[in-house]
Amino acid sequence: MTVTCSSCDKNAILKRPKTGDALCKECFYFAFEEEVHHTIINANLFVKGETVAIGASGGKDSTVLAYVLKVLNERYKYGIKLILLSIDEGITGYRDDSLETVKRNEQQYEMPLKIVSYEELYGWTMDAIVKQIGLKNNCTFCGVFRRQALDRGAMMLNVDRIVTGHNADDIAETVIMNILRGDKARLRRCTAITTGTEGALPRSKPFKYTYEKEIVMYAYFKKLDYFSTECIYSPNAYRGFARTYIKDLEKIRPRSIIDIIHSGESLSFKKEVKMPTQGTCTRCHYISSNDICKACVLLEGLNRGLPRLGIGKTHKERRKVNK
């Protein structure tokens, strides 16, 4: 039995994961792109004349983000300049291959590309870090370094803003993880569409309400060129647990993802709850809520042969750095 598209009278070829609507390809593209456009407009994400760096890993999220932003920038005349910014963590057999994808995207989307590496910024590749610390806390190092590396790369490029491909599933996962960890400061920040406004560079997530399944579907039907292999150092067990939980909820009730994000957005904290204040690191001068930022603590641990320095009980470890 053929099903008719719920937006036009063509045959439907897919069921939209987010809404369950039966749609033809063209109507799915349009619905997907329009939702991202509305997210951008409602949050006033861009200002005409701005240069925007897209954190590009070669994976599906950032590849679809680059493609859709190019489409919307032309369709709705945002008047922004888009640049691809990639971080090379130095993971042989993974990032070197995914960067090849970004280099092809540079040609396909006619966007300039800048690659900054952990090796040039920190003197360490992830391969070397894993050799020293093993496969347990590697994602802590990688995540902290990547966050700062994106800022540093964006500053080298003199852009006005960074956008990343974090999608609704990622944000819902982060809400759950921050609840489980009792991390109030992150819980409050993680649903914000734009963060970093108090620092040098705002960072936004235009896919905040976009479902991962729809991003995969969009990339698949549009035949976009992206890299889908998992990182070889990937056992981020805690996030994996939150991810499975979200996917299970989604199976029962697709709206759960959006509902978790909305719950995160509507949480408020009593005035008495103490929140860390953002300042700058006395060593590297990038944004930090401590005197010395996490990246500098981790780096010092690596350089002193004490790689556990920044892992675990932060206060105790920071005292060691200050000695």
> Which entry of Zn ion, ligand SF4, none binds 284, CB below 5 to 8 A by partner kind?
Zn ion
Q: Please report whether residue 234 would count as binding ligand SF4 according to CB under 6 A.
A: yes
Burial 311-323 (b: 16+ CB within 10 A, else e): beeeeebbeebee
How many Cβ atoms sit within 10 Å of the Cβ of residue 131?
10
Q: Please report whether residue 299 would count as binding Zn ion according to CB under 5 A.
A: no
Q: Please report whether residue 193 would count as binding ligand SF4 according to CB under 6 A.
A: no
Q: Please report whether residue 318 would count as binding Zn ion according to CB under 5 A.
A: no
91 touches 126 (CB < 8 A): yes
Amino acid at 305: G
Kind and range of the H or E element at 307? none
Q: Please report whether residue 138 would count as binding ligand SF4 according to CB under 6 A.
A: yes
Q: Please report whether residue 231 would count as binding ligand SF4 according to CB under 6 A.
A: yes
> Which entry of ligand SF4, Zn ion, none binds 296, CB below 5 to 8 A by partner kind?
Zn ion
In this structure, the dihedral spanned by the alpha carbons of residues 204, 207, 208 and 212, taken in order and rounded to 10 degrees, is: -140
Tokens of 9: 């009278």
**Which residue from 133, 139, 296, 298 is in contact with ligand SF4, where contact means CB under 6 A?**
139
57 annotated as ligand-binding: yes
How far apart are alpha carbons 83 and 157 in whole angstroms?
9
Kind and range of the H or E element at 54? strand 51-55
**Which residue from 67, 72, 82, 89 is in contact with ligand SF4, where contact means CB under 6 A?**
89
Residue 133 or 175: the one with the smaller Cβ distance to ligand SF4 is 133
**Which residue from 139, 281, 287, 298 is in contact with Zn ion, where contact means CB under 5 A?**
281
In sequence order, which residues have a C-beta less than 8 Å from that of residue 149 and are 6 or more positions away? 87, 116, 118, 121
Q: Which stretch binds Zn ion (CB under 5 A): 135-143, 170-178, 191-199, 275-283?
A: 275-283
55 annotated as ligand-binding: yes
Residue 28 or 233: the one with the smaller Cβ distance to ligand SF4 is 233
Q: Please report whether residue 14 would count as binding ligand SF4 according to CB under 6 A.
A: no
246 HSE (CA, 13 A, CB side): 25
Known binding positions for ATP: 55-57, 61, 87, 165, 170
Q: What residues make contact with ligand SF4 under the rule CB under 6 A?
A: 89, 126, 138-139, 142-143, 231, 233-234, 236
